[in-house]
Amino acid sequence: MDLPPASGAWRPGDPVGARHFETLFDARPHVLEAGGRLEHVTVAYETWGTLDPGGANAVLVLHALTGDSHAAGRDGWWDPVIGPGAPIDTNRWFVVCPNVLGGCQGTTGPASPSADGLPYGSRFPILTIRDQAVVEAALADRLGIDRWAAVVGGSMGGMRALEWIVAFPERVERAVVVSVGAKATAEQIAWGSMQIRAIQADPRWRGGDYYDAPDGEGPQVGLEIARGIGQISYRSELEFDARFGRDHQGDEDPLDGGRYAVESYLEYHGAKLTRRFDANTYLALSRAMNHHDIGRGRGGVETALTRVRAEVAVAGISSDRLYPLRLQHALAAALPNATDVEIIQSPCGHDGFLVESEAVGKVIRRALA
């Protein structure tokens, strides 16, 4: 792919951990799987380590729904896993983490300007996980990376890792896929759809065109509720019971209108997300996750996975009720070159792929050995 360099792009010798930007598909519209188009696509990404002269030591790390390109360093969402001497050892590997297509941390998404200079808003087209992997492949082309030594991701990042090994089998040597299945289940779609409806029910959503609202307010309440719904599915019933039980929040009395501790917890995480995340991005990415199906248009899941050439490590969390272990076992059974599923014991549910960084790190270290 012959693409001109963009300002802000990474170049050898750049400081690690700084956010860079690449503008892709700027010479023509980018056509998406569902038929929509984007006039141009900019990708924000961060890098760590040094790319060797042959480009053979590159590792792609892919974030989950509300993550971003800042995987390592201060406040990095996977900082214990990436760095000198870490499971993804930056003394050995050159690590790239892009913000996903549809995101709100520098990559083209609903809040980005369209061709008329106004935010896409309600005009932002339907995205799929496949679209996101295609854009990541274009970024790899721009960076001169023909083949990844490894592609690593959990949850939505795991979906994109699966798309990589199916869509671009010759470009991935190995993959680590954590806490995901080959396609979205009915219950996962149900959880996602309720979060989408929570945002759309907020009067300040305004059909998706709230960026220039007279009061300057977007659908924060809807996003807070959506995050709370999601947070329930991300943790486990046993953890909630052990952590909160029927405790009250501080001195509040639920019989007098006060909150239970678990209610306060959900409100906290909802409010925290609204300070850094766009509601339309939450919608676009939730829909993309609902559309996840590695077998769509490829003869079904099992046929699609016969394309895979990479060695694949599949891992799951023992208490994950959103992406239960049966999905990882089915995935590993259908992959040509997968090891047995590595089960990470944790009470933390789906979020265990982030919380149990030491155990997840061991899986990754073995895969990269």
Q: Which of 132, 198, 155 is nearest to 67 (CA)?
A: 155
CA atoms within 13 A on the CB side of 206: 14
The amino acid sitting at 221 is V
The helix/strand/coil state of 1 is coil
Chain position carrying tokens 């994950």: 320
Quick one: 126 exposed, middle or buried, by C-beta within 10 A (0-12, 13-18, 19+)?
Answer: middle
Write phi, then psi, for 113 (nearest 5 degrees): -75, 135
Rounded Cα–Cα distance for residues 231 and 245 (Å): 16
Structure tokens at 322: 């959103």
> Which value, to the nearest 10 degrees, does the dihedral of the CA atoms of residues 320, 322, 325, 328 take?
-130
42 and 23 Cβ atoms separated by less than 8 Å: yes
Structure tokens at 16: 């690690």
Write phi, then psi, for 338 (nearest 5 degrees): -100, 145
The helix/strand/coil state of 61 is strand
Residues acting as catalytic residues: 155, 320, 350
Question: How many residues are given for the chain?
Answer: 369
